[in-house]
Amino acid sequence: MRPRVTPTRVAAIAAVIAAGAMTVFALAGPALAVPGRVVVGGELDGLYPGFTGVMQARVTNEYAETVRVTLLDTTVLDAKSACPASMITVTKSATEFDVAAGATATTPITVHMDFAAPDECQGATWPLHFTASLTSVAGLPDTGMNVRQLLAAGLALLALGGCIAVAARRYRTGGPA
């Protein structure tokens, strides 16, 4: 009876593991970890009843790749109970725009104060919460891997697992190589 584990078989299994690992890392490459975020901010002073003005909202891209802002939405919060958020209306960003890696872009946002804003709104400050909808052509923000990379890695790992399972079964049953 031939030995169940031969040097050839061990080398073959090692080759499978190496091929799988190389496939994963070659496809994922340096984009496996892309730390970063997109920060949005903007301030506008000088409001009074009936005021309409333009705030330049800033979008800072801390990712290592260009992102596209498809929508910038602004939520106004209450300044105080007597001076609610409804006294302020803010428009959405009008057009899509790109922000290069590490750069800051601005987009105009129109801000209007209601004519009926009560006297209690004098000197009030309304917090603004921005939400940017973003797209990228290169990678997902969390892992840096795009869909095809993830799929290829998954398939490679699946094939690798199958090979190992077959080899292990052969080892247990002691069949000929």
Site for other proteins in 43-102 (CB under 8 A): 43-50, 55, 57, 70, 74-77, 79, 88, 90
Interacting residue with other proteins among 41, 82, 86, 108 (CB under 8 A) = 41
Interacting residue with other proteins among 29, 33, 42, 93 (CB under 8 A) = 42
Indicate whether 34 belongs to the interface with other proteins (CB under 8 A).
Answer: no
The answer to whether residues 60 and 42 touch, using CB atoms and an 8 Å cutoff, is no
Q: CA–CA separation, 56 vs 47, rounded Å?
A: 15
Give me the least distance between CB of 8 and other proteins, in Å please: 5
Q: CA–CA separation, 171 vs 4, rounded Å?
A: 6
Give me the least distance between CB of 168 and other proteins, in Å please: 10
The H-or-E segment that residue 112 falls in is strand 104-113
Interacting residue with other proteins among 1, 8, 30, 35 (CB under 8 A) = 8
Interacting residue with other proteins among 29, 102, 108, 162 (CB under 8 A) = 162
Which residues in the 98-157 window bind other proteins by CB under 8 A?
111, 113, 115-119, 121-141, 146-149, 151-153, 155-156
Number of residues that bind other proteins (CB under 8 A): 83
50-84 burial code (b ≥16 CB/10 A, e <16): eeeeebebbbebebebebebeebebebeebeeebb
Indicate whether 15 belongs to the interface with other proteins (CB under 8 A).
Answer: yes
Token readout for 133 is 């909808």
Q: CA–CA separation, 169 vs 25, rounded Å?
A: 28
